[in-house]
Amino acid sequence: MEFINGVPLFSSMFLFISFLIVIYLQLAKTKKKLNLTPSPPQLPIIGNIHQFGKLTHHSHRDLAAKHGSLLLLKLGYYPALVVSSADMAKEAIKRHDAVFSNRLKTTASNILLYGGTDIAFSPYDEYWETS
C-alpha cells in the first residue's frame, strides 16, 4: 500500500474527489436560470475575450451580426452589455441613465484616487451631481 505523508493513497484520492464533487454540487445548486440577452458561447475564466481579433470593433460588428444588436459579453470576470444599434443605445441611456453612468469600483481607484471621489471615478450620486 502506498502512502502520502502517512495517509494511504486511496484515502487521499477519495477525499480529494469527494471534495470536488461537493464543490460542483454547491455551484450547480446556486446557479439560477436568468433571462439574459443573447450572448455567444464563452470560456470559463476568460469569457468572450478569445473571440476578439486584432481589430476589436470588427469583432463586435461580426458578433452583433450573428447574435443581434444587444449582446451580453463576459470580459474576464466582468459582464458587459454591448449595444450595437444607435436607436437602442439612445433608448437605454434615456430610460436607464443612472445604471449606465456608474463607474466600476476597484481597489486601485479607492487607494490612489481619494476613495473613488474624483471626477473620473466617482459614483453617480449627490456628490457627483454637486461637484
Q: Is the pLDDT of residue 36 over 70?
A: yes
Is the pLDDT assigned to residue 10 strictly greater than 70? no
Amino acid of residue 103: R
Cα–Cα distance between 52 and 62 in angstroms, integer? 10
List phi, psi (to 5°) of 70.
Answer: -120, 115
Q: 3-class SS at 118?
A: coil
Q: Which residue's entry shows cell 451580426?
A: 65
For strands 7-8 and 3-4, give the pairing. antiparallel
| Summary mean pLDDT of the chain | 79
Tens of pLDDT, residues 51-79: 888 998 898 889 889 988 888 998 888 88
Distance (Å, whole) CA 60 – CA 83 = 10
Q: Enumerate the domain spans of the chain.
A: 1-31, 35-130
Residues β-bridged to residue 74: 79
What is the CA 40 to chain-centroid distance, rounded? 14
Report the pLDDT value the prediction gives residue 131, as an integer from 0 to 100.
Answer: 55
Q: What was the pLDDT predicted at 30?
A: 66
Q: What is the pTM of this model?
A: 0.56
Measured CA to CA, the distance from residue 89 to residue 83 in angstroms comes to 6
